[in-house]
Amino acid sequence: MVTGQGPVTITDVARLAGVSPGTASKALNGRRGISAGTALRVQQAAERLGYQPNALARGLLSGRSFTVGLITTDSFGRFSIPVVQGAEDALGPGRILVFLCESRDDRLREEHYLRALLERRVDGIIVTGRRQDRREPIGRDLRIPVVYAMAYSSDPADLSLVPDDEEGGALAIRHLLGTGRTTIGHVTGPRRFRAAVLRAAGAEQALTAAGLGLAGSRTLYGEWTEEWGRRGVDLLLRSAPGLDAIFCGNDQIARGAADRLREVGRRVPADVALVGFDNWDVIAAACRPPLTTVDMNLRQLGRAAGERLLAAVDGHPGSGLQLLPCSLVVRESSRPPESRSP
């Protein structure tokens, strides 16, 4: 590479190769109607000068910027990260670049970001947020496609992708039933979280389908914390002393539950099986014993968001609230009693 003043333009390359800019352009873009010799000379000239095509100029001409915006309200929390990663997967390393915009739940910041994205002529926007809270559409008449992930738009004409929390709850219960548990309690987060309610609904439905009910007869709503997990165990043991499993609304609650069960002398999983939700590795793996938990497959959700956005950019838009499958990650905390190693 030769060090000169300012970025190298295609005109510089053309001059060095002894051709016109138009010809250089064709050669570099593999257009046909160029002799092999010329093509080679242009390639070499570009190489020598370290030529990088100016994407701004290209975008101006083509009307596409090969750029998308990613607006997250979640302060980039632990749920947004895998979604973002998945989206990047779908968009490819360097093919389409992602503008990161953290709105931090601030409407004004969001507007600023939206304007900035529109000015930069992004090809589309992904909106992601905390759990699957319903939210206002990001803007009206945007003329570019938008996909919501995790958070979902209140406008059903928009495409929103969210994990199927209800099915996730059912998954947890069916697993416990399948490993011989019958008296199952449920401790979860605050009732105002849609996710908590949906998971509980899925759990209760799965129990009902098996002709059973919830141990302690009702879902214990509380906080998303270990502290609440510990207290939840105390409450459950009082109302349902014979319980043999607890499904927890997230991994922190489950971890608190595991600690408490150990403290009161109940063995996990021998006496009581435990299933969490989120598959948050630091928690689930550090739990004693390691935690069986429901994974929302957020990375795949992010990837799906990226793919759906690309499809929309190519003229194949989608719409509606779409549920993506959760899956179960089985670890030690729910091992059936029969198969315990000696």
Q: Are 172 and 149 in contact (CB under 8 A)?
A: no
Our finding on whether 21 is near its own copies (CB under 8 A) is no
For the bound state, the minimum distance from the C-beta of residue 64 to DNA, rounded and expressed in Å, comes to 11
Q: Which residues bind DNA (CB under 7 A)?
A: 6-7, 9-11, 18-26, 28-29, 31, 33-35, 37-38, 51, 53-54, 57-58, 60-63
Residue 28 binds what, of DNA, its own copies, none (CB under 5 to 8 Å, by partner type)?
A: DNA
Q: Which stretch binds its own copies (CB under 8 A): 24-32, 102-110, 309-317, 325-333?
A: 102-110
Supply 198's token pair: 């949906």
Structure tokens at 295: 């994974």
Q: What is the DSSP annotation of 288-306?
A: SSPPEEEE--HHHHHHHHH
183 binds, among DNA, its own copies, none (CB under 5 to 8 A by kind): none
The one segment of 33-41, 115-123, 161-169, 213-221 that binds its own copies by CB under 8 A: 115-123
- Which 25-54 residues touch its own copies, going by CB under 8 A? 50, 52-54
- 129-148 residues in contact with its own copies (CB under 8 A) are 140-141, 143
DSSP three-state, residue 327? strand
SS3 for 44? helix
Selected binder of its own copies within 132, 153, 183, 252 (CB under 8 A)? 252
Buried b / exposed e over 170-201, threshold 16 CB at 10 Å, is bbbbbbbbebebebbbbbbbeeebebbbbbbe
Q: Please pick, from the candidates 12, 123, 165, 226, the single residue that binds its own copies as defined by CB under 8 A.
A: 226
Tokens read off for 202: 């899925």
- Nearer CB in complex with its own copies: 69/185: 69
Q: Are 254 and 248 in contact (CB under 8 A)?
A: yes
Angle between helix axes 10-17 and 36-49 (nearest 10 degrees) is 120
Is residue 265 a contact residue for its own copies (CB under 8 A)?
no
290 contact, one of DNA, its own copies, none, CB 5-8 Å limit per kind: none
Tell me the C-alpha to C-alpha distance, in Å, between residue 64 and each of 58, 109, 122, 127.
8, 25, 7, 20
- Binding status of residue 11 toward its own copies by CB under 8 A: no
CB 275 within 8 A of CB 254: yes
CB 143 within 8 A of CB 305: no
Q: Residue 70's binding partner, choosing from its own copies, DNA, none, with beta-carbon cut-off 5 to 8 A by kind?
A: its own copies
Minimum distance from CB of 94 to DNA (Å)? 16
| Residue 99 sits in the site that holds its own copies (CB under 8 A) | yes
CA 97 to chain centroid: 18
Q: Give the span between the Cα atoms of 278 and 82, in whole angstroms.
A: 12
Q: Which of 83/215 has CB closer to its own copies?
A: 83
Count residues contacting its own copies (CB under 8 A)?
Answer: 54
**Nearest-angstrom CA–CA distance, 191 and 187:** 11
Which CB atom, from 176 or from 248, has the smaller least distance to its own copies?
Answer: 248
- 45 HSE (CA, 13 A, CB side): 25
Altogether, the residues listed in the chain come to a count of 342
Distance CA 291, CA 289 (A): 6
Smallest separation (angstroms) from its own copies to the CB of 162 = 22
**Residue 247 touches which of DNA, its own copies, none (Cβ within 5-8 Å per kind):** none
Interface residue with its own copies, options 239, 286, 316, 319 (CB under 8 A): 286
* CA pair distance 198, 191, nearest whole angstrom: 10
Residue 67 interacts, among DNA, its own copies, none and using kind-specific CB cut-offs from 5 to 8 Å, with its own copies
What are the residues binding its own copies (CB under 8 A)? 1, 3, 6-7, 50, 52-57, 59-60, 63, 65, 67, 70, 75-76, 81, 84-85, 88, 93-95, 97-103, 109, 112-113, 115-121, 140-141, 143, 225-227, 252, 259, 282-283, 286
